Amino acid sequence: MLTVTPHHFLILAFLLVGIGFLGLLVRRNVLLMLMSLELMLNGINVALLTFSKVGNNLDGGIFVFFIMTVAAAEVAVGLALLVALYKKRNSVLSDDMAYLKN
């Protein structure tokens, strides 16, 4: 039987971070960019918990709660800004955000 080792969890974590980062680069919709950011932070949480388990140290587990809170706050602000911008422009695409130019 295949046993799941910490290395598998770390691979999962870095895959999540990588997918999130890639999504941030290629997505054109700001909503999906915010979701990619969340994915990155969740990947980091998985890595943190794995390290915490391997090292038998609870600090990492506590840090996860801080990260979750901060991520929620960040997305709340982001969505509020996005709604305000949508009311002005009727678009959430990053290509349409080109008012700030030299």
d(CA 18, CA 26): 12
Per-residue tokens: 74: 């960040």
Instruction: Report the residue number, 12 or 24, with the smaller CB distance to another protein.
Output: 24
Closest separation in Å from C-beta 12 to another protein:
14
> 2 φ, ψ to 5°?
-80, 125
* Cβ at position 24, least distance to another protein in Å: 6
- Least Cβ distance, residue 45 to another protein (angstroms): 9
Cα–Cα nearest to 37, from 24, 22, 18: 24
Q: Could you tell me which residues are beta bridge partners of residue 29?
A: 93
Output the smallest distance, CB 67 to another protein, in A: 7
Residues of this chain that bind another protein (CB under 8 A): 6, 17, 20, 24, 30, 33-34, 37, 40-41, 44, 47-48, 50-52, 54-57, 59-60, 62-63, 66-67, 70, 73-74, 77-78, 80-82, 84-85, 88-89, 97, 99-100, 102
Helical residues (DSSP H) of the chain, grouped into ranges: 6-26, 30-55, 59-89
